């Protein structure tokens, strides 16, 4: 039996269950735009620059630089927690790793 998949996986030598799983994974994976939107909508006045890690460009390893006045006076661990909170359940389901750099607007300008 051939499973229809828009990612053309059916032409490979995968078993049907593997094809179904990989197609689902490709359909549900997050990209940099998704991560950026979650961060910017979850942290007041945030600007996020998100990319995939150069050493893992094919999967769910991200790098993000986040600038927000919400980080003012917050220690690094709390800044990162604000970002993790903005990403919510995606941190345990869709994002394998994220490398964070956080700044207040003043820190970023200076």
Per-residue pLDDT of the chain (110 residues; tens, 9 = 90+): 444 555 454 445 555 655 555 554 455 578 899 999 999 999 999 999 999 877 665 667 899 999 999 999 999 999 999 999 999 998 888 888 899 999 999 999 98
pTM for the predicted model, two decimal places: 0.72
Phi, psi dihedral angles at 62 (to 5 degrees): -120, 160
Domains in the chain, please, with CATH? 1-29 (no CATH), 32-109 (3.30.300.90)
Distance (Å, rounded) from C-alpha 110 to C-alpha 107? 5
* Pairing verdict, β 47-52 and 97-103: unpaired
Distance (Å, rounded) from C-alpha 31 to C-alpha 110? 30
* Pairing verdict, β 61-67 and 47-52: antiparallel
């Amino acid at each position: 039996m051939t499973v229809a998949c828009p990612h053309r996986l059916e032409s490979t030598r995968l078993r049907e269950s593997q094809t179904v799983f990989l197609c689902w994974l490709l359909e549900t994976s997050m990209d940099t735009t998704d991560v950026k939107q979650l961060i910017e909508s979850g942290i007041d006045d945030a600007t996020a620059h998100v990319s995939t890690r150069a050493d893992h460009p094919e999967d769910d390893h991200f790098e993000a630089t986040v600038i927000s006045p919400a980080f003012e006076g917050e220690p690094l661990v709390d800044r990162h927690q604000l970002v993790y909170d903005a990403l919510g359940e995606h941190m345990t389901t869709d994002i394998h790793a994220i490398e964070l750099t956080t700044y207040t607007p003043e820190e970023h300008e200076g």
